[in-house]
Amino acid sequence: MANAPKNLDVVHLTQALITRPSVTPVDAGAMDTVQQVLESLGFTCTRLKFGEIENLYARRGTSAPNLCFAGHTDVVPSGVRNLWRYDPFGAEIHDGAVIGRGAVDMKGGVAAWIAAVSRHDDLSGSQKGSLSFLITGDEEGVATDGTIRVVEWLKDQGEIIDHCIVGEPSSSAQLGDMIKVGRRGSVNATFTVTGKQGHVAYPQRALNPLPVLVDLLGALKARMLDDGYDQFPPSNLEITTIDTGNTATNIIPQDARARINIRFNPAHTGAQLCAWFDEVAAQFAAKTGAQIEVKSTISGEAFLTEASTFVDLIANVIKDTLGLDTDRSTTGGTSDARFIRALCPVVEFGLVGQTMHQINECVAVADLEALTDTYSALIEAYFSKFGSSS
Ligand SMILES: [Zn+2]
């Protein structure tokens, strides 16, 4: 059956989502709201609950190519209520903006893509392929039961996604001024050095773990990781804490810990960096006689969506609709794009991120409408470029 275009209102949809206080991991009915709207637009929805997290995959159409929109319905906590001028979950409109937690990150973006999709009849010439949604309730939290699990499920199902737009607030100062075509990777490591506790006046009877730790950190810090990579700044290693918890003035402590983080470009992989940590720790253990334990976790690998027809298409649509030459950036923290890139080329393009995670988070009504227009033009352009001709 044909689903006639409905032209859903992006502002109402944004408000409906903001009024569900879906602070990670709570869903508060946000995913039901998305599912109901998508079903009314002819999508087949599959709810995927992993742990306590609600996730959703929805698809309309069976033919290739499959253009996916990825986003999240969870939000960060509102913070101190008294500092908000209006109810953070009230979604009130003041001075031309919808105010509330999640307005830009990223309920407004989800609403804009849904509203854009509602303008397209699935049997019209404009959609010669499939549209899909990957929506998670675990982006702002630990992200272990969210997109990463859905991506595994999609692979198991043999579900093919050809290209993906992540609707995170990628714009910097003005809607469309920036899209994200890659991200740096991130790895954390904790080094625990165990020596032998003793009296400071008798150092020969003790083994102080602190100088070992300081020298080890110095050796790590002394390595120049790289001097940048195509479209990326140089990788950087930061020491984030050094602790021993020693409150006495006359004790050489038993152990000491330090934590580091590296933000790295595609010149490295997380596994290579972790192997390097182990190697340096083993050298210092052998040299000093201290025990050194390393615990590393890779939060995300670096990636770059190479310059391609898909990236150009997005940049061209932004130019035509918003009149801007968009900046193809790799800045910012990690996002769920790090998991999706295992499936297909992925680009982040969404609202202006200025108030994300802040008190009085808000989105201009004009931006919501302009983003919906741009997403709609993008759907049109995508299927006329990549769509099957049948
Ligand atoms: Zn977000």
Given 105, 122, 138, 139, the catalytic residue: 139
**Please, where are the H alpha helices in the chain?**
10-18, 30-40, 108-118, 147-157, 209-222, 270-288, 309-322, 337-340, 365-386
Burial of 138 (0-12, 13-18, 19+ CB in 10 A): buried
Which of 248, 281, 257, 253 lies closest to 196, judged by CA? 253
What is the distance in A from the centroid of ligand 1 to the CA of 294?
31
Asked if 74 is an active-site residue, the reply is yes
**Ligand 1 centre distance from Cα of residue 169 (Å):** 7
pLDDT at 2 over 60: no
Please state, in angstroms and rounded to a whole number, the distance separating the CA atoms of residues 269 and 344. Answer: 19
Q: Which residues contact 281 (CB under 8 A, 6 or more apart)?
A: 191, 216, 292, 293, 294
Q: Is the pLDDT of residue 87 over 80?
A: yes
Annotated catalytic, 27? no
In Å, how far are 112, 191, 327, 354 from 314, measured between CA atoms? Answer: 16, 44, 11, 22
* Residue 133 pLDDT: 98
| 143-153 mean pLDDT | 93
CA of 337 relative to ligand 1 center, distance in Å? 11
Average pLDDT in the 142-168 region?
94
Pinpoint the alpha helices (H) of 142-291. 147-157, 209-222, 270-288
- Which pLDDT score is estimated for 109? 98
Residue 138 CA to ligand 1 center (angstroms) comes to 10
> Which of the listed CATH numbers 3.40.630.10, 3.40.640.10, 1.10.1660.10, 3.40.50.620 matches domain 10-183+302-386?
3.40.630.10
Residue ranges per structural domain of the chain: 10-183+302-386, 185-300
Contact 213, 193 (CB under 8 A): yes
Its sign, for the CA torsion 61, 108, 149, 303, is positive
Look up the pTM and report it.
0.83
Average pLDDT score over the chain: 94
pLDDT of 55 higher than 80: yes
- How confident is the model over 111-138, as pLDDT tens digits? 999 999 999 976 555 568 999 999 999 9
Separation of CA 122 from chain center? 29
Q: Write the pLDDT tens digit of every residue in 257-280.
A: 999 999 999 999 999 999 999 999
Mind listing the pLDDT tens digit for each residue in 278-330?
Answer: 999 999 999 999 999 999 999 888 989 877 899 999 999 999 999 999 999 99
Task: Indicate the fold that domain 185-300 takes in CATH.
Answer: Alpha-Beta Plaits (3.30.70)
Supply the pLDDT for residue 5: 66
Looking at 27, 54, 74, 255, which residue is catalytic?
Answer: 74
Q: What is the pLDDT of residue 124?
A: 52
Q: What is the pLDDT of residues 363-383, one digit of tens each?
A: 999 999 999 999 999 999 999
Residue with tokens 């009085």: 360
Using the mean position of ligand 1's atoms as its centre, give its distance from the Cα of residue 3 in Å. 30
Q: What is the pLDDT of residue 19?
A: 98
**What local confidence, expressed as pLDDT, does residue 275 receive?**
98
CA 281 to chain centre: 31
Is 60 exceeded by the pLDDT of residue 209? yes
Average pLDDT over residues 334-348: 90
| Distance from Cα 353 to the centre of ligand 1, integer Å | 9
Q: What is the mean pLDDT of residues 154-160?
A: 96
* pLDDT value at residue 160: 97
Number of DSSP helices (H) and strands (E) in the chain, helices first: 9, 19
Please, what sign has the CA dihedral across residues 123, 11, 347, 153? negative
CA 139 / ligand 1 centre spacing (Å): 7
pLDDT at position 3 over 60: no
pLDDT at 331: 85
**pLDDT of res. 307:** 73
Length of the chain equals 390
The pLDDT score that the predictor gives to residue 1 is: 42
Rounded to an integer, what distance in angstroms lies between the CA atom of residue 167 and that of residue 155?
Answer: 22
Ligand 1 ion: residues within 5 Å (CB): 105-106, 168
